[in-house]
Amino acid sequence: MHEMSLCEGVLTVLEDSAKQQGFKKVKKVWLEIGVLSGVEHEAMLFSYDVVVKGSVADGSTLEIIELPAQAWCMQCMNEVEITGRGEPCPSCDSYQLQISSGDELRIKELEVE
Amino acid sequence: MCTVCGCSEGETTIEGAAHSHSHDHEHPHDHSHDHSHDHEHHHHDDKTHDYGQGPAHAHAPGLSQSRMVQIEQDILGKNNRYANENRSYFAEHAILALNLVSSPGSGKTTLLTKTLTDLKDTLPLSVIEGDQQTANDADRIRETGVKALQINTGKGCHLDAHMVGHAMEPLAPEDKSVLFIENVGNLVCPAAFDLGEAHKVAILSVTEGEDKPLKYPDMFFAADLMILNKIDLLPYLNFDVEKCMAYARRVNPSIKIIQVSATTGEGMDTWYQWIQATHQIAMIGYQPKLAAVDADAKAA
């Protein structure tokens, strides 16, 4: 359940930007989460509501944009898309993959007022 | 917790930290707003330009008060900043920091006490013990004569970089030493939290399933070394060592694997060899003066 900590991290960023950019209320938050980041979306959504209670983001909605993972397959000499660590190349079944993306944990943008 | 670790609001305790880390920065959970959003009554003063409401208190069509803010910020950004501070501190003082991760019951503390007993005469050592509760493990460590500091994470499921940074002052690891950070027994959450360590070391015991590297791939991907512990029990178990190692390499082709038994001592020399070698690397570029100036500056 480190999703709770991640939501705390999100809230810290929201509160900091509220101060810097002078908004009073956050209505919607878009997160970009890679499929390899080890984050359970349901847990994230659940924790978010709990964590933002009484804050600048109270009542706001969380949108999760799932980002795919890319890897370089040494056998195919090609960029392939994978869905998890420890999974083979979808075209040649080799495990010799160099993962290049998919562990993103980013706050993309906010709707505020 | 002050920053990233939300699981344990105010419950983290660091032994020996006299200022018991009371969180006096604002946590807005206290003042209860009585939920009257949606129909905002705006207080107009000459500093407020409110475009959302028409003259008859109606929202002007097409003119919303909302705006979009691009932030593009890493959720773990704050933790990573603390981790980088820790990393520079370790580099400056030539401290090799190892983050030991495993599931509960893998024999992590036994492996560690054995390691400390065997290495304490050749290397300066110290330990940070992370557990949800009790100082039992730190007590076990101190019995070996090595200094240890307990961090209780309360409800938290992992150590974060900020806790480790705070532990540096009371623990005061020596220059050119090895610092073992024994993380909370958990193969999931600690994978995401960089503590500023040089390497994550994943400990897996043969009494667990051989497919654990596949079940918890994030942790075995994040680790540079896997220690397969309790190999003295192999004759009594159906544990396929080769399969386990193949699974670990499937997730992380560059992972190094050492087989040990902390109880019988088998394989421990290879582990010590790895520690000595990585310790040598940590000492490259060490300038004693730099560390001394830093200490003076702190004292002043």
CATH number reported for the structural domain that contains residue A68 in this entry: 3.30.2320.80
Amino acid letter for position B72: E
Number of other CB atoms surrounding residue A10 within 10 Å: 25
Question: What torsion do the CA atoms of A6, A10, A15, A19 make, to the nearest 10 degrees?
Answer: 130
What average pLDDT does this structure show over A90-96? Answer: 93
pLDDT at B69: 86
Q: Give chain B positions within 8 Å (CB) of A102.
A: none
Q: Cα(B3)–Cα(B291) distance, rounded to whole angstroms?
A: 28
Query: How many Cα atoms sit within 13 Å of B187 on the Cβ side?
Result: 23
Of the candidates A9, A58, A111, the beta carbon closest to that of B4 is on: A9
Q: Picking from B32-36, B75-79, B219-223, B284-288, which range would have the lowest pLDDT averaged per residue?
A: B32-36
> C-alpha angle B72/B78/B80, rounded to 5°?
95
pLDDT at B292: 62
Q: Give chain B positions within 8 Å (CB) of A110.
A: 68-69, 71
pLDDT band at residue B156 using 50, 70 and 90 as cut-offs: confident
- Res B11 pLDDT > 90: no
When divided into structural domains, chain A yields a total of: 1
Instruction: Give CA separation, B231 vs A81, B203, B204, B236, in Å.
Output: 37, 12, 10, 10
Q: How far is A53 from chain B (nearest CA, A)?
A: 7
Q: Does residue B118 contact residue B97 with C-beta atoms inside 8 Å? A: no
| Mean of all residue pLDDT scores within chain B | 83
Classify B225 as helix, strand or coil: strand
pLDDT at B15: 75
The H helix count followed by the E strand count for chain A is 2, 6
Closest CA to B204 of B245, B161, B175, B174: B245
pLDDT at B14: 78
A109 touching chain B per CB within 8 A: yes
A96 touching chain B per CB within 8 A: yes
What average pLDDT does this structure show over B40-52? Answer: 45
A8 touching chain B per CB within 8 A: yes
Q: What is the pLDDT of residues B101-135, one digit of tens each?
A: 999 999 999 999 999 999 999 999 999 999 989 88
Q: What is the pLDDT of residues B137-150, one digit of tens each?
A: 999 999 999 999 99
DSSP structure class, residue B245? H
- CATH fold of the domain at B77-203+265-299: Rossmann fold (3.40.50)
- Res B97 pLDDT > 50: yes
Q: How far is B42 from chain A (nearest CA, A)?
A: 12
pLDDT at B184: 93
* DSSP-assigned letters across all residues of B255-267: -EEEE--TTT-TT
Of the candidates B31, B72, B247, the beta carbon closest to that of A108 is on: B72
Q: Does residue B262 contact residue B268 with C-beta atoms inside 8 Å? A: yes
A106 touching chain B per CB within 8 A: yes
- B71 and A58: CB-CB below 8 Å? no
- Res A11 pLDDT > 80: yes
Q: What is the pLDDT of residues B209-259, one digit of tens each?
A: 999 999 999 999 999 999 999 999 999 999 999 999 999 999 999 999 999
pLDDT band at residue B71 using 50, 70 and 90 as cut-offs: confident
- Res B50 pLDDT > 70: no
Q: Cα(A107)–Cα(B231) distance, rounded to whole angstroms?
A: 44
User: How high is the ipTM of this complex?
Assistant: 0.83
A86 touching chain B per CB within 8 A: yes
CB neighbour class for B219 (10 Å; exposed up to 12, middle 13-18, buried from 19)? buried
pLDDT at B17: 60
Domain boundaries, chain B: 77-203+265-299
Q: Cα(B232)–Cα(B235) distance, rounded to whole angstroms?
A: 7
Q: Which residue carries 């105010």 as its tokens?
A: B10
Q: What is the CA radius of gyration of chain A?
A: 17
Q: How far is B292 from chain A (nearest CA, A)?
A: 35
Q: Cα(B40)–Cα(B64) distance, rounded to whole angstroms?
A: 13
Q: What are phi and psi of B245, to 5 degrees?
A: -65, -35
What average pLDDT does this structure show over B70-83? Answer: 91
pLDDT at B13: 76
pLDDT at B62: 52
- Res B44 pLDDT > 60: no
Question: What torsion do the CA atoms of B280, B282, B285, B290 make, to the nearest 10 degrees?
Answer: -130
Q: Cα(B126)–Cα(B228) distance, rounded to whole angstroms?
A: 23
Q: How far is A81 from chain B (nearest CA, A)?
A: 15
